[in-house]
Structure 1
């Protein structure tokens, strides 16, 4: 696999030099100054690509070209935004970046309730706490029908939890949920998020899925023509929030998406942490099932709880079988190496150590993005590199 690292562009406090010293060879990045919906200029893609290459690295994956909400609802100026998206794909390919990760989550991108959850060793992790989320949804956002989204047990805990929150804790919870997270598209306030949520709730799951497929039928032929690979990121978390539709949460969702547009340019991002937050997703079997269409991998682990809560654990310790997952991915790479199919030209799969704990020194650094600390990802990458190396060695010895 190609070891990559998420880099937030020239303004990132983690330099390309530090990334190279961490052992990564590839970069996963975006053009963060381009407004969502606008076409990416070829010159800016080339400029950032050259900046990356000057440090001896390669720009392996674009993560992401955001999809405007008007495309998701097919309202307003959505046709112009689709045309701009096509231009961005074409320009990325002209610049020599051919793998594009994107998501189709409505309103909120990846969602957590606690960005500094303290673990037993005093490092800090990202956490989704169902009780806190329900408390926000029901008692702060006051979404219509919100109580029906939660069990009586969760509601009892949420009401008790909310009654004990001070104003500072309420503000922090709201910021964590709706104010935009690293890698997200932006932020909402309480009024605007309520309006956006209702628009998608009214749309419904079936119609939302139809809009995704219509979008794919527009952009995938462009990607196929220019040699690009589109790989959709799953919902995070992979279940409904705020009553919103979710359409990339399960193996059946992934199969429906691939069937809707059966092109080799239409692929998946295997995010172990996102898919793995559901106990009914067998990640190893999903890799085996969808292997030829997996073009990008996020490797991270989670520890799940019965009510849907979870936190991000060490990369090799959690509910996801990381060794089995790596073995399945390496098996697919070897299949591609021996294949005569021109669609298998992406032999090596880019992977990045997704998220990382915030360790001691970085906890006092206000510039550190939760989930994107240098030391935490350095630790995760080193652990994953060891698993990949050992698994490859064992597989080689059996040949």
Structure 2
């Protein structure tokens, strides 16, 4: 398990020096300032690599850019409209430039419109820590009463609709504005920030795109890029839907093991792989991230290790980002499964036997509070998660346990 850390570039409040002190081995980053659909040039890639390779005082850092997260897939590609063919060509050109620079793992997602959804970006826990939360009642209030999406109420149980109406009636204007801003915050570090009008316009463009159609569009995309990735020795890995259930009337196609299996079988190349995010997949009770990992392990190229606690038994529930060793996913069993898979790969002689992982998200604790980092990406909260995960990994490697 190669220990990596997500870095949003020079504006990130966590520095290269900070990452070195945390014991990070590699960096996960992206060129968030480059417009979606455009080419990542060799010059831009080299500039980011140089930043990662250099400490504050100019000395070498020993860190390298190991994983791209994300090389964005444009809405045009997802819908197969507008400039989608040119965007695929640009994506392939960016792949070539990344390969030339020695970067061979690309994480991406195929979620329409919004890349993740939360209703609270700093929900206070009993300990005083803050975390991100998805409150189903708040989200229904947003969808039905703030966004006013046609037929939105049909997507929720009657009891949720009734409770959402009551909660909305108690909201003042400031809370309504805060809730709307939280829901549309989008992918951390992404260039695009959506207004409600933007969201309505984007949603309307998916009115006639079913789950089957979006799957077909994704397969078409992968049929173009995965063979090239195979030739280049690159690994593409799709992140699951977050959260993994339908929202805003949009199709969800990467929420379950069956979803992944369909895509992996349709473009059956080692380069077409999985970002196994335990927090996203673990956000619905009928998903067991450990078993999903075991089923798809041969094609898992990148790991996001985080945990969520679910408040209910239905597919669509409220949830919050728990500590890394708490919540729905048995993280001890998860790390044990990864250790076993790495041993299997090493025996087979695979060059990619060591799977990069990052402590995905973290609670705001200690000096994180008030530091205004990207939501979900505090320095100390992630450091705590990384230390816990590193401890698990090393314990499984120790002779007392490995030989038991």
Is 1:339 paired with 2:348? yes
CA distance in structure 1 between the partners assigned to 2:107 and 2:186 by the alignment: 19
Deviation, 1:49, is 1.5
CA distance in structure 2 between the partners assigned to 1:364 and 1:17 by the alignment: 21
- Structure 2: 5+ residue stretches without partners: 54-59
User: Which one of the candidate residues 367, 372, 380 is aligned to 1:375?
Assistant: 380
- Structure 1: 5+ residue stretches without partners: none
CA distance in structure 2 between the partners assigned to 1:48 and 1:58 by the alignment: 10
TM-score (norm 1): 0.97
Indicate the larger mover: 305-314 or 79-88. Answer: 305-314
CA distance in structure 1 between the partners assigned to 2:160 and 2:45 by the alignment: 47
Deviation, 1:329, is 0.7
- CA deviations on 1:248-271 (whole Å, 9 max, x unpaired) are 000000100100100010000000
Is 1:81 paired with 2:90? no
Kindly report structure 1 stretches of 4+ aligned residues shifted beyond 4 Å: none
CA contact (8 A) 2:367 2:380 kept: no
2:67 counterpart SS class: strand
CA contact (8 A) 2:34 2:191 kept: no
CA distance in structure 2 between the partners assigned to 1:140 and 1:127 by the alignment: 19
User: Which one of the candidate residues 260, 271, 293 is aligned to 2:266?
Assistant: 260
CA contact (8 A) 2:132 2:320 kept: yes
Equivalent residue number for residue 110 of structure 1: 116
Equivalent residue number for residue 68 of structure 1: 74
Counterpart mapping for 1:89-128 below 5 A:
89-128=95-134
2:205 counterpart SS class: helix
CA distance in structure 2 between the partners assigned to 1:359 and 1:394 by the alignment: 34
Deviation, 1:184, is 3.9
Is 1:309 paired with 2:311? no
- CA deviations on 1:142-188 (whole Å, 9 max, x unpaired) are 11110100001111110111011111110000001114341445222
CA contact (8 A) 1:29 1:64 kept: yes
CA distance in structure 2 between the partners assigned to 1:372 and 1:28 by the alignment: 13
Deviation, 1:361, is 2.5
Is 1:192 paired with 2:192? no
Deviation, 1:369, is 1.7
Is 1:160 paired with 2:166? yes
CA distance in structure 2 between the partners assigned to 1:380 and 1:264 by the alignment: 30
Distance 1:157 1:185, change over 3 A: farther
Equivalent residue number for residue 276 of structure 1: 282
Equivalent residue number for residue 65 of structure 2: 59
User: Which one of the candidate residues 373, 387, 391 is aligned to 2:392?
Assistant: 387
Equivalent residue number for residue 18 of structure 2: 18
Equivalent residue number for residue 324 of structure 1: 333
- CA deviations on 1:24-56 (whole Å, 9 max, x unpaired) are 111000012111000110121122113323311
Is 1:4 paired with 2:27? no
CA distance in structure 1 between the partners assigned to 2:2 and 2:403 by the alignment: 23
1:110 counterpart SS class: coil
CA distance in structure 2 between the partners assigned to 1:315 and 1:350 by the alignment: 17
Counterpart mapping for 1:213-292 below 5 A:
213-292=219-298
Equivalent residue number for residue 57 of structure 2: none
2:273 counterpart SS class: strand
- CA deviations on 1:65-95 (whole Å, 9 max, x unpaired) are 0011000000011110000000011110000
Deviation, 1:396, is 6.0
Distance 1:330 1:183, change over 3 A: farther
Deviation, 1:10, is 1.6
CA distance in structure 1 between the partners assigned to 2:367 and 2:12 by the alignment: 18
Aligned-CA RMSD value: 1.3
2:106 counterpart SS class: strand
